[in-house]
Chain A
């Protein structure tokens, strides 16, 4: 699999590696997918990178590759920001080859990472017709998570037709941030757009939301989908090739 902009892959890895340290990458003719839960099985991440999004892609037979995201992240940190990236696995090999090429083709780096033997537990993610779908700038969402984490470890997300409200309370006291739906949309990327079938009010652990925001460099917008008694879906699109979707189970009043 070859990417002209290797930085896209680095952003994917940086977006996943705090939530999951290692994961099984499923490679097929259609592209690469990954599904993994965090260690406490509270959150799940689903990655899709379609083959047509790569500059070139070939997969002669389906492979499940156990990869340490922490090690992959260390290797990708050596990549130049404009480097192209090629990832290769030979048929009977127990390692993955990561090749980086500088833009003016004068520097070639090759790394080989040992593959891991991981037992991949796969969950079925049901198609959900969410009560509420919010689109907002990913930087804004990152900022809200950071600000709310000052006040408490849980954030209540309430949606109404006017907008969406994030609130947190703890020993210090409490705080809330309300975003109003954008009316005159000049730039889609900066808009807050709320499609609401019915109002929802759900509580989530803010430290997971903050971990999801590590994937924000992938996309200027984030999609948040909510329904009562349903995991939140937090989606960052990967331009022209797929998405990273995080799911987080809600917290409930005892």
Chain B
């Protein structure tokens, strides 16, 4: 099964 990553793993909260 593949796992969904979150977008904030890649884009930092400003």
Contact = CB atoms under 8 A, between A and B. Distances in A.
* A associates with B: yes
Interface of A: 37, 40-44, 121-126, 154, 203, 205, 230-231, 247-254
A247 B7 CA distance: 8
A123 B12 contact: yes
B2 A251 contact: yes
B6 A252 contact: no
A46 to B, nearest CB: 10
Interface of B: 1-14
B11 A247 contact: yes
A131 to B, nearest CB: 15
Contacts of A44: 7, 11
Nearest to B6: A41
Contacts of B11: 44, 123-126, 231, 247
Contacts of A40: 6
A203 B2 contact: yes
